[in-house]
Amino acid sequence: MQKAGRLMSVTSTVFLAARQMPDAKAWAAAIRKEGFALELPVNVDLRGHADWLPCRYNAEPAGFELTVRPCAEYFTEQEVAADDARRTACRDDSLAISFAVTSVMRDLVAAEIAAAVLATMARGNVWSDEAGQLFSAAEAMEIARARAGVIAVPEDEVPKQPEAKSVAVTLPVRVVFKGEHTLLLASLEDKPRRFTVKVTADPTDKELAIVALWEHPVGAATVHELLGEDIRRRRPQVRPQMVAESKTVARIGTSPAALSSTQN
């Protein structure tokens, strides 16, 4: 099992018209204007950039691999089929800007925010390799805002909180984002709540199992730790929250496809 906060490689790509590509200073200013605690360097030449881009998220070091190249080059590199949805998002003068992370949750959130704001500025679209789906700028922004409070910190730095057991309830939800290993859900309530669910499928019987669960209303992240049949809730902290993983896998009686289906 991966350590709390550690993820597999995740890549998303923004497609936009070359003439709409902002400079680093304007991009950083737009991120601040949207209210995100993400600081990008402003003295970077983004044209043709293909390297690690260091940044700071919630005053902590973060970063992602940023690769800027023409869409044609991206299509060849990724062997994108002629009927692939990504081709509908590109024209002859379009750029493909990829954000890749292979480290901690903080880097993933930073990359999602940067990609969503860039797509919004340039009226572009965002492709998620994990979800295998093309998102509008508005959809990408919704995902970035929903996950912005989920940050990993070392487990020994998280203060112990009184535990409170909860009971099982039926809660109608819609799927905001679905990937191979994570689902972002929104409850169908007057005041919707957001949940990130990390799942795994048992290769022997194809059952879906929840290995970690987070509830994170915008601006007030609340962490739940799933241990067997108990869900333990931790009160929100001012500091970044620990991403807790279960010590035992809790199975649920459904398939990956059934749980991942989107409800509008």
Least confident of 13-17, 166-170, 233-237: 233-237
pLDDT for residue 90 is more than 60: yes
Burial class (CB in 10 A: 0-12, 13-18, 19+), 187: middle
Question: What is residue 193's predicted lDDT score, i.e. its pLDDT?
Answer: 82
Q: Which of 107, 109, 17 is nearest to 53 (CA)?
A: 107
Per-residue model confidence as pLDDT tens digits over 73-84: 999 999 999 999
Which residues, 6 or more positions from 223, have their beta carbon under 8 angstroms from its beta carbon?
A: 214, 215, 233, 234, 241, 242, 243, 244
Q: Which of 167, 164, 174 is nearest to 195 (CA)?
A: 174
pLDDT for residue 234 is more than 50: no
Domain edges within the chain:
10-147, 155-260
Question: What is residue 133's predicted lDDT score, i.e. its pLDDT?
Answer: 93
Chain length of the chain: 264
Place of tokens 């739940």: 224
Confidence of residue 248 (pLDDT cuts 50, 70, 90): very low
Question: What is residue 65's predicted lDDT score, i.e. its pLDDT?
Answer: 95
Question: What is residue 205's predicted lDDT score, i.e. its pLDDT?
Answer: 53
Other CB atoms within 10 A of residue 226 CB = 23
pLDDT for residue 140 is more than 90: yes
pLDDT for residue 155 is more than 80: no
Instruction: Report which DSSP code applies to 165.
Output: B
Confidence of residue 174 (pLDDT cuts 50, 70, 90): confident
Instruction: Report which DSSP code applies to 126.
Output: E
Question: What is residue 207's predicted lDDT score, i.e. its pLDDT?
Answer: 62
pLDDT for residue 157 is more than 70: no
